[in-house]
Amino acid sequence: MGINIKFKITDFKKGAAALITILSIGSLLFTISLTSSMLVYYANQNIYSYSNSLKTYYAAYSGIQEALLRLERNKKFNNNLTLNINSTNDVSVSISNNSSSATIISTSTYNLVNTAFQTVVDIATTTSLITPTSTSELSL
């Protein structure tokens, strides 16, 4: 009878050790998978934000290009316009012209990301040549 009791206690200790080992390994695997999932989630959000930033950057730049084309066709063009690049009316362009120079401000908005550019253009009165003198990104 004494041998049987010892055998059961030894089995119980082995089972407890196996249970603790399994729980430790399971906790470690859970922690690794949770951390990996969080890293993938935040990397995905970073890529999404970068993509939106690029879309607004190039949309605002295309607003500058559209304004330069309109000034090329009509040297006295002085107006506001909107463009549909990424979505409806997502680029607004303002042109203020005083016959010898013009200032173009193009602002783009897409998914809560805003980008704005300002370009100053000289207009030669004798040749009507349009020369951009400076382009800068505005902080919003």
- Summarised one tens digit per residue, pLDDT across range 26-62 is 999 999 999 999 999 999 999 999 999 999 999 999 9
d(CA 10, CA 28): 27
pLDDT of 82 strictly over 80: yes
pLDDT of 20 strictly over 80: yes
pLDDT of 99 strictly over 90: no
Residue 10: pLDDT band (50, 70, 90) is low
The DSSP-derived string for 18-66 is HHHHHHHHHHHHHHHHHHHHHHHHHHHHHHHHHHHHHHHHHHHHHHHHH
pLDDT of 115 strictly over 80: yes
Containing 109, the helix (H) or strand (E) segment is: strand 101-110
73 vs 35, which has greater pLDDT?
35
pTM, rounded to two decimals? 0.74
Rounded to the nearest 5 percent, the helix, strand and coil shares of the chain are 50, 30, 20
> Is there a contact between 97 and 78 (Cβ–Cβ < 8 Å)?
yes
pLDDT of 95 strictly over 70: yes
pLDDT of 7 strictly over 90: no
